[in-house]
Structures are given as C-alpha cells and as structure tokens.
C-alpha cells in the first residue's frame, strides 16, 4: 500500500488552513493539544487559540458561549473524554440550542491502544446518535479528514468529528467530492455489502480481498457520516446484495451497526452481521488488539462468511 | 512510626533502582509516561514501604489502608512499587502494556493485585477517596485513604467538588498528596492555567495543609505521620517535586510527559541514573 498519513496530523494541518480562510474559527484545547495536533493552531493564530487546561466541561460550555456570539469553535480532547466527561454542555447547550460548535474527538475506537480500556472510545457513537441536531463524521484517511473539517465548518450547527490516532493509507485523491451524508462505494460486489466507518474501512477493504480469493464478491462502503445516515445506500446494499456486515471500532450496540439495522428493520429486513466490540478491550499493540477482538480483515471476513451462510440457509 | 536512617537509605537505593527499571521498561516498550512516573517515585515508595498498613499476601483485606493513584498515567511507578513490595512477581513487570497482561496502561483494579481503584481519566480519584474514607466510618474500620493527585489534574472541577464534600464530612482519614511538579501535558502549569497556590485553595476549602519535599523520603515519612495524626478533617500534602526527576534532560519538560525514549536518550538516561548498564 501507499504512504501512511496520520489522521491527527491531517486534522491539525486542516485546522490551520481553515483558520487562514475563516477568521471566525477558534480552537480550544484541554491540555491534549500536542497529542491531538490541534495545538499547532497556536503558532499561527495565538489570539484565536485557547488552552483551558484539563477541564473538558469548561471547554465545551465555553465553546457554546462563543458559538452563541457568532464564532465557530473547534473543541479538542480524546474521544473518550469528549462526551463521557465533557458531555453535559454538548447535550444541554450545544445540541439543544443547535450551536455552531465542532467537537473533535481524537484517539477514537481502540486507536490509543497501549493506554488501555480507560482510554479506548467505544461507546461514543451510541451517545452521539441519540443527540438530536448533531452531525457525526468519521473519516477513513487523511484526505477525507481534511474534507470533513472543511465540511463541518461550512455546516451551520453542531458537528462531531470522530478521529483516529492511527496513521492510515490514502484511499482518496485531492479531488474527491466529499459530501456530508453521502457515503462512498469503494468497491463493487454482488453477494454482500460491508459497510464501515473510520480508518477500519481499510480492514474492510482487506477483508474484501480475502473474500475475493475465495470467490466471494463483497461490496465495500465508506460510511463516513454516521449521522444522518445514508439510508438510501443502505437500502441499495440490501436490495442489490441481500446481506450486510457492518464494521466499526465501537461497541456493536448503538453505533453504525445499530443505525443500519434500524433502517433495514423499517424497510427491508435481510441477514446482517455486526463487527465491533462487546466488552472492554485492553492495552496492547494496535494491530494485535484489532485481531484479538475480531476487528481485523480476518475477523470481518469470518462475519462475511457467516452472513452468507445465513443468506443462503 | 518514625523512619530510621537505615530504612531511609534502603528506600533511597530502592528509588534509584526503580528509576533505572522504569527507564528500561519504557524504553523497551516505546510507550508509557516517564515524566509523571519519575516525579512520584519517593511519594509512592514511602507510602508502600513505610507508611501504609498493607499486606501483599492479602491485597483485598478490608482493614488495609487504600491508595488511589488519581494521576493514573504514572502506573509504571505504581507497578514497580507493588511488584517490589510483593503483590506480584517482579518478572511480570515485563508484560506492561502487552496484550493479555495484568499490567494495563493505566491502573486496573480488577486485574492487578494491590490496585485499589482503576484510574486514568483524571479528576475522579479524590471523590472516590472521599467515598472510601467515609466507608471506614460506616463500617467501623480504622484505615486511612491516600490519594495522589497531579497538579494539572486539579484543574478538573470535580476535584473541587470532592474537596467540598470531604470538608463537609470532615473525613479525618483522608490524605491527598499533590504531586506538585509544575508541569502538565501541553506545557507548564503556569503556561496552561496559572491559578496560584493549590495549597491555599485547599485551605480555603476547609482542608488542613502540609508541605513536603516530594523527593525526600525522610521528609515525606515525617509529614505523613503528621497528616495521620490529624483526625479532625482531610489533609492535603503539597509535595514539591520535579517532573522527570533523576533524568536531567527530562526534568521539568512537558515533552517528556509521554514521549517514547530513543536509543540515544536511553543511553543518556541510564548514564545519569548510574548503576549497571
Ligand atoms: C479527563 C482527562 N483529560 C485528559 C487526560 C489526558 N492527560 C493525561 S495526563 C495529562 C496531564 C497531567 O498533568 P499532571 O496532573 O500535572 O500530571 P503529572 O505532571 O504528574 O504527570 C493529561 C492532560 C486524561 N487522562 N484525563
Ligand atoms: Mg504535573
């Protein structure tokens, strides 16, 4: 594969570009700016960068105040703390009043692998999905990350950016026309569809390769917008391939899999399998963790075989 | 219990050895937090090897003193203490942060013998400590509860909620130790959140406060005795420390909060810490 680019670096660089174009953009850190790469904004725009220390509730509530006065604040912390610690103002101020705050939760899923379960973020999508008025974006590579940052700023209203700590190989070219709510078919296939979100899309593509070697044709969809979900594409997958596997670095409860299942249950119930977590994970090397918890290409391919058996059975 | 000169010398040597082991471990693993681990070395060693009433054979004994490492990222130093104190084999330290290990990146109470509370997300330890301390009263037990806080960590509002509750309940068996190293993750505390004296704030919240040289076993042991003797309410010990203590190029520098150690830096660090290479 081609060069790996860190999602967090792409995010930090995009913020600076955005800051150059839009003077209303301000960046707020909570003492993890050097990890999240949002802190780089300070060198360029010190007057529009704030570090409020280790106080996530304060950060998000302060952003709400700024947004109510016409600014576009980007708040930054680890995904696991953005809602679980800093969540009350996200619900009661930002989403309720539809304030123009962009919440960047970095180190999503298991990507902060060595720090352990206390630093893994595997329940955020479930919380985020239940918050009205919120848009949720989860990019899979560096180009998509930059596009997501700009799209988030252009959208009036609250947006959550779910970002990985990991580096990911490039999938998209610069010209890629990213649109919020419009998923991307990365690979054609006829027997089943694999719908994935975030950098784990790469594992989904690798799984499709494994399956192809066995004569199984799998479609792969990059569902970069988890909310609002691209229901049209989900239904196309259901009608055209008849089986779906969802893939997310998250609990299988309440995340992408749940969202897809809700669409199918209301319209076209078909066999479905869920790739994701059902328990707390642990510290360890990132690829090793993905493998142990069934989130790597092999784990996804196994679920694909299972869904096919169900489909034909 | 006063500490003897011989015991002090023994624990000082232990600290120096643990610093070397810490650097070996984090270098080998290329992940983990050197700065904040080095700064709380003497605090943890004095507590685990002198002050606290604990029994490694019975890590869950109901009457034991409790310790909450609220700044959970210093887990490697906690594990070094627990291993050398006999809670689990020293050889197990080599599994730190590896898959299937009992030694998680941040302290995990349900996996590691001797860990009293899972920590990592900052700002929760003091509240849990108030709960543990108050439980002693309700269950008729006489244990003490120690909570080690970071000086960046106390920016979390929840810490001050706990400070108020402890004052209201007058939890005389609660001792908080502030690892006052002046540095957090993105920079110095002065740069990130210049908030003045933490000890004065705790005092304003109704706490007794004491000060210690956080790298002097003798001083810490004496101050812990004073704190234990004070039963009328919670005590905060402002332990003056240096982040990265013992490794000159790490001292006082926020970049060494969580940075992987390179081969060159490893050699320099080991030279600074002396002992067999
Ligand atoms: C709620 C929460 N926010 C952010 C972090 C990330 N984080 C880990 S350590 C740290 C800095 C801690 O500084 P300090 O409390 O001074 O600890 P020390 O200097 O002793 O390492 C930060 C921001 C966290 N673990 N928990
Ligand atoms: Mg500090």
Tell me the per-residue pLDDT of B47-59, one tens digit each, with 9 for 90 and over. Answer: 999 999 999 999 9
In contact, A205 and A218? CB cutoff 8 Å: no
If one compares B108 and A313, the residue with the highest pLDDT of the two is B108
pLDDT for the residue B275: 74
Whether A156 is catalytic is: no
- Minimal-distance CA residue of chain A relative to B183: A31
Kindly tell me if the per-residue pLDDT of A313 is higher than 80.
no
**Nearest CB to A39; choose among B32, B101, B186:** B186
pLDDT for the residue A292: 98
pLDDT for the residue B276: 55
- Rounded to a whole number of angstroms, the distance from the CA of A163 to the nearest CA of chain B is 19
- What value does the mean pLDDT take over residues A221-229? 98
Instruction: Please give the Cα distance from A51 to B92 (Å, whole number).
Output: 39
Nearest CA to ligand 1 atom 13: B184
In contact, A249 and A109? CB cutoff 8 Å: yes
A123-163 confidence digits (pLDDT tens): 999 999 999 999 999 999 999 999 999 999 999 999 999 99
B132-185 confidence digits (pLDDT tens): 999 999 999 999 999 999 999 999 999 999 999 999 999 999 999 999 999 999
A234-289 confidence digits (pLDDT tens): 999 999 999 999 999 999 999 999 999 999 999 999 999 999 999 999 999 999 99
Sign for the pseudo-dihedral over CA of B113, B119, B124, B126: positive
Pocket-testing residue among B32, B36, B238, ligand 1, by greatest number of atoms within 8 A of Cβ: B36
* Domain extents in chain B: 5-272
ipTM of the complex: 0.96
A78-112 confidence digits (pLDDT tens): 999 999 999 999 999 999 999 999 999 999 999 99
- What value does the mean pLDDT take over residues A212-231? 98
Q: Which pair of structure tokens corresponds to residue B67?
A: 């310790």
> Which ligand is in closest contact with the Cα of B39?
1
pLDDT for the residue B277: 47
- Minimal-distance CA residue of chain B relative to A291: B99
- Rounded to a whole number of angstroms, the distance from the CA of A138 to the nearest CA of chain B is 23
pLDDT for the residue A1: 47
Does ligand 1 have an atom closer than 6 angstroms to the CB of B243?
Answer: yes
Does ligand 1 have an atom closer than 6 angstroms to the CB of B72?
Answer: no
User: Which residues, in sequence order, are CB contacts of A95 under 8 Å at separation 6+?
Assistant: A131, A132, A133, A134, A158
User: Of B166, B150, B173, which Cα lies nearest the Cα of B77?
Assistant: B150
In contact, A71 and A24? CB cutoff 8 Å: yes
- How far is CA A192 from its chain centroid? 22
- What value does the mean pLDDT take over residues B96-108? 98
Best B121, B179, B188 residue to mutate vs chain A (most A CBs within 10 Å): B121
Q: How confident is the model at residue B1 (pLDDT cuts 50, 70, 90)?
A: confident
Pocket-testing residue among A54, A75, A76, A86, ligand 1, by greatest number of atoms within 8 A of Cβ: A54
Q: Which residues of B touch A166 (CB under 8 A)?
A: none
A25-63 confidence digits (pLDDT tens): 999 999 999 999 999 999 999 999 999 999 999 999 999
Q: Under CATH, what is the fold of the domain B5-272? A: Rossmann fold (3.40.50)
Q: Would the CB atoms of A114 and B156 count as touching at under 8 Å?
A: no
Q: Compute the distance from residue A205 Cα to the ligand 1 centre, in Å.
A: 36
Catalytic residue among A56, A146, A233, A248: A56
- Minimal-distance CA residue of chain B relative to A86: B156
A162-200 confidence digits (pLDDT tens): 999 999 999 999 999 999 999 999 999 999 999 999 999
Q: How confident is the model at residue A4 (pLDDT cuts 50, 70, 90)?
A: confident
Rg of chain B's alpha carbons, rounded to an integer? 18
B174-199 confidence digits (pLDDT tens): 999 999 999 999 999 999 999 899 99
For each of the domains in chain A, give its residue range(s) and CATH number, in order of start: 4-169 (3.40.50.970), 184-312 (3.40.50.920)
DSSP letters along B16-27, please?
HHHHHHHHHHHH
* 3-state SS assignment for residue A74: strand
Nearest CA to ligand 1 atom 18: B36
User: Of B236, B176, B177, which Cα lies nearest the Cα of B203?
Assistant: B236
Q: Compute the distance from residue A32 Cα to the ligand 1 centre, in Å.
A: 8
Q: Compute the distance from residue A313 Cα to the ligand 1 centre, in Å.
A: 53
In contact, A108 and A249? CB cutoff 8 Å: yes
């Amino acid at each position: 594969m081609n060069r790996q680019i860190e999602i967090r670096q792409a995010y930090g660089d995009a913020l600076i570009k955005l800051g150059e174009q839009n003077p209303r953009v301000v960046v707020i850190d909570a003492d993890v700016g050097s990890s999240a790469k949002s802190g780089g904004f300070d060198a360029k725009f010190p007057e529009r960068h704030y570090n409020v220390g280790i106080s996530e509730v304060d950060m998000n509530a302060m952003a709400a105040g700024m947004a109510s006065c016409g600014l576009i604040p980007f708040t930054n912390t680890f995904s696991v703390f953005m809602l679980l610690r800093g969540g009350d103002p996200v619900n009661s101020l930002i989403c309720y009043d539809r304030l123009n705050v962009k919440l960047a939760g970095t180190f999503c899923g298991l990507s902060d692998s060595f720090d352990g379960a206390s630093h893994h973020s595997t329940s955020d999508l479930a919380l985020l999905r239940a918050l009205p008025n919120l848009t949720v974006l989860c990019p899979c590579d560096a180009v998509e990350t930059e596009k997501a940052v700009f799209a988030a700023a252009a959208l009036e209203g609250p947006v959550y950016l779910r970002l990985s700590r990991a580096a990911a190989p490039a999938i998209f070219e610069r010209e890629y026309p990213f649109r919020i709510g419009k998923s991307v078919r990365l690979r054609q296939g006829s027997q089943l569809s694999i719908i994935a979100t975030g950098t784990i899309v790469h594992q989904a593509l690798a799984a499709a390769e494994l399956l192809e070697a066995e004569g199984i044709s799998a479609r792969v969809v990059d569902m970069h917008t988890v909310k609002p979900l691209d229901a049209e594409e989900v239904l196309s997958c259901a009608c055209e391939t008849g089986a779906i596997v969802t893939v997310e670095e998250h609990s299988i409860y309440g995340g992408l899999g749940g969202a897809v299942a809700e669409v199918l249950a209301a319209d076209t119930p078909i066999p479905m399998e869920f790739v994701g977590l059902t328990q707390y994970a642990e510290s360890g090397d990132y690829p090793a963790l993905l493998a142990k918890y069934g989130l790597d290409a092999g784990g996804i391919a196994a679920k694909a075989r299972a869904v096919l058996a169900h489909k034909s059975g | 219990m006063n500490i003897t000169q011989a015991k002090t010398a023994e624990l000082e040597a232990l600290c120096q050895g643990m610093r070397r082991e810490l650097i070996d471990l984090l270098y080998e693993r290329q992940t983990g937090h050197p700065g904040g681990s080095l700064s709380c070395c003497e605090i943890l060693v004095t507590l685990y090897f002198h002050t606290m009433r604990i029994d490694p054979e019975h890590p869950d004994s109901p009457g034991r003193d409790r310790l909450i490492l609220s700044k959970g990222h210093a887990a490697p130093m906690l594990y070094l203490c627990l291993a050398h104190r006999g809670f689990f084999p020293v050889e197990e330290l080599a599994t730190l942060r590896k898959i299937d290990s009992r030694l998680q990146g941040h302290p995990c109470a349900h996996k590691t013998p001797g860990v009293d509370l899972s920590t990592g997300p900052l700002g929760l330890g003091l509240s849990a400590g108030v709960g543990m301390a108050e439980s002693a009263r309700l269950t008729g037990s006489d244990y003490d509860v120690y909570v080690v806080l970071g000086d960046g960590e106390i920016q979390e509002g929840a810490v001050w909620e706990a400070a108020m509750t402890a004052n209201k309940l007058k939890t005389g068996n609660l001792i908080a130790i502030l690892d006052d190293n002046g540095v957090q993750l993105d920079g110095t505390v002065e740069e990130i959140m210049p908030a003045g004296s933490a000890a004065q704030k705790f005092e304003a919240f109704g706490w007794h406060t004491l000060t210690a040289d956080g790298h002097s076993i003798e001083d810490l042991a004496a101050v812990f005795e004073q704190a234990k003797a004070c039963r009328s309410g919670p005590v905060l010990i402002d332990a003056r420390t240096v982040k990265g203590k013992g490794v000159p190029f790490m001292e006082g520098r926020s970049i060494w909060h969580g940075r992987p150690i390179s081969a060159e830096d490893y050699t320099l660090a080991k030279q600074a810490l002396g002992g067999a290479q």
